[in-house]
Amino acid sequence: MTKDTDSPVKFEIDDEQGYLIVRFSGEIDLYGTPHAREVILNCIKSDRSTVIDLSAVTYIDSSGVASLVEGYQLAKNNNLEFGLVNISDAVLSVLQLAHLDKVFSIHSSLDERIQAS
């Protein structure tokens, strides 16, 4: 488990059922995005399928959404899985606004995602 306490965006990474699961918390805007982006891309660069838990993210803006898109594309190019789980209403409405709610694979939990596949 990795922790970071200095960033405006907090996160924890756990290794569960063959996936790296990144649990972000806080607000992902222009200030927090560079850090969140680095965390997401590092997970995929370590050649692991990655799931992002967004339940504790109270706010995300277009820069945060853009890092999710980058993670999605990098995973796809490396034949890895990339998904979102447990997303808050605040995040969902922004993804809907970006018409990305159908692009990402979104599940209520990691278990549900494994069952669905």
Partner 1 sequence: MNHPEDDIQQAVPLSQHLALVARMAQEFATSLDIEETLNNATKQMMETMHAEAASIFLLDNNDTELVCRTCAGPIQLTGLRLAANHGIIGNAVKNNTVQMVLDVSKDPDFTAQVDEQTGFTTRSILCAPLTIKDKKLGAIELINKNTDDGLFVEDDQHILTALAAAAALAIHNAAMASALVEQERIQHELELAREIQANLLPVAEADDFPVHGYNLPMREVSGDFYDYFSLPDGRIVFNLADVSGKGMNASLLMAKTSSLFHCLGKTQSSPGQLMSMINNEVHENSTRGMFVTMVGGIFDPASNQVVLANAGHQPPMLQYADGRFEDIIGQSPPLGIVPNIEFPETTLQLDDGSLYIYTDGVTESQQNGKMLGEAGFQSMINAHRDKPVTARIKAMFESLQREDRELHDDVTVLVIENKTLTPSLTLNVPAKANYIKELRDSTRGMLQAAGSTKEQIDSITLVISEAASNIIQHAYKGNEGDIELNIHVDSYASPPQLVINLRDYAETIDISEIRSRALDDVRPGGLGVHFMKQLMDNLVYTVPEDGRGNRLEMRITIK
- Contacting residue, 12, 70, 81, 101, with partner 1 by CB under 8 A: 70
The residue from 79, 99, 115, 117 that contacts partner 1 (CB under 8 A) is 99
> Please, which residue, 12 or 29, has the CB nearer to partner 1?
29
Q: Which two tokens stand for residue 1?
A: 């488990």
Closer residue to partner 1, CB minimum distance, 13 or 95? 95
Instruction: Enumerate residues 6+ apart whose C-beta is below 8 A from 82.
Output: 44, 49, 50, 51, 52, 71, 72, 74, 75, 76, 104, 105
Judged by CB under 8 A, the chain residues 10 through 69 that form the site for partner 1 are 27, 29-31, 59, 61-63, 65-67, 69
